[in-house]
Amino acid sequence: MLKDTQNERDDRQLPIDRVGVKSLRYPLQVRDKEHSVQSTVASIQLTVDLPHHFKGTHMSRFIEVLVAHGPVIHVENIRDILQEMCRRLESRCAHLEIEFPFFLGKKAPVSGAVGLMDYTVRFNATLENGEMDFVVTTVVPVTTLCPCSKAISAAGAHNQRGHVTLSVCCKRPMWIEDMVRLAEESASAELYSLLKRPDEKHVTEQAYANPVFVEDLVRNVAVRCEADENIIRYRVEVENFESIHNHSAYALIEKKGALPRG
């Protein structure tokens, strides 16, 4: 019989909030509006709480739980994975964090040329005392044009690329594509991977006609979230990578609400 060190008693009287494995790469399938399912590769973190009297957790069991649900993770399996983690690791609370690239084919606004855009998406799921909390985060790159620069300049205005990081907790699942559109429609202009000259002219002029500060952009996104009855709570962060400063502009709006019962 091999010694089970993890199950030995610890006398320091300090519980651990989260312990487990992270940076685990694993195949993932997510819902896609256009193709029904999109296959991608995720970076995964699996953790549980550890009572103060246990010396350690059993790291191999996290992988065993994941593998037991098949060679590919499906979003529909997340609750089952969390429940099994609680059972196998004798924990009250389990967490699953998944980060992956999500791809959308986008047509250029004038030429119609199609290119692929990638967006970083994160799923954060927690099961605690039988109740599940599920938050989806999407990082959306956009273009913003400075209203002040436009107002004081005889010609032109400085613009920059920015990131809208939108996190939502919803009553019903929200399409990733809809989160992307919500953020893009709040900016001066959206981004494309492929643009011809007529497209560049269109995007440049669109941004010039629709200047927004970082404060405008974060409020625009928040207003759209407030108008969506499906969204229980949200967090909007905007970072503009300034083109004439050696720093970024930043803004955040957060609405906290009751946890959904999953």
- Residue-wise pLDDT tens digits, 58-85: 889 999 999 998 888 888 899 999 999 9
**Residue range 237-251: mean pLDDT, rounded:** 94
Q: What is the pLDDT of residue 155?
A: 87
Of residues 236 and 256, the one with the higher pLDDT is 236
Nearest C-alpha neighbor of 242 from the set 139, 146, 138, 140: 146
Give me the half-sphere count of Cα atoms (radius 13 Å) on the Cβ side of residue 4: 9
Q: How many CB atoms lie within 10 A of CB 260?
A: 16
Contacts of 154 (CB under 8 A, 6+ apart): none
| Phi, psi (deg, nearest 5) at residue 172 | -125, 155
List, for residues 25-70, the tens digit of each pLDDT value: 999 999 988 888 999 999 999 999 987 677 767 889 999 999 998 8
* Average pLDDT value over all residues in the chain: 91
Are 95 and 45 in contact by the 8 Å Cβ rule? The answer is yes
* Contact (Cβ atoms closer than 8 angstroms) between residue 141 and residue 166: no
Distances, alpha carbon 148 to alpha carbons 151, 154, 158, 214, in Å: 5, 12, 9, 12
Q: According to the per-residue pLDDT averaged within each range, which of 12-21, 45-54, 185-194 is highest?
A: 185-194
Q: Please tell me the predicted confidence (pLDDT) of residue 50.
A: 83
Q: Is the pLDDT of residue 2 over 70?
A: no
pLDDT tier, 261 (very low <50, low <70, confident <90, very high otherwise): very low
Q: Give the Cα separation of 205 and 143 in Å (integer).
A: 12
| 112-163: pLDDT as tens digits | 999 999 999 999 999 998 899 999 999 999 999 999 999 999 888 999 999 9
Task: Check residue 7 and give its pLDDT.
Answer: 64
Q: What percent of the chain is modeled with pLDDT above 90?
A: 76
Distance CA 111, CA 262 (A): 44
Residue ranges of the domains in the chain? 18-255
Q: What's the CA gap between 4 and 1, in Å, rounded?
A: 9
Across the range 188-216, mean pLDDT stands at 96
User: What sign does the dihedral 258-83-50-122 (CA atoms) show?
Assistant: negative
Query: Scanning the structure block, which residue is given the tokens 């973190």?
Result: 45
* Packed helices 176-184 and 214-227: angle between N→C axes, nearest 10 degrees: 140
Out of 3.40.50.300, 3.10.270.10, 1.10.3720.10, 1.10.10.10, which CATH number does the structure's domain 18-255 have?
3.10.270.10
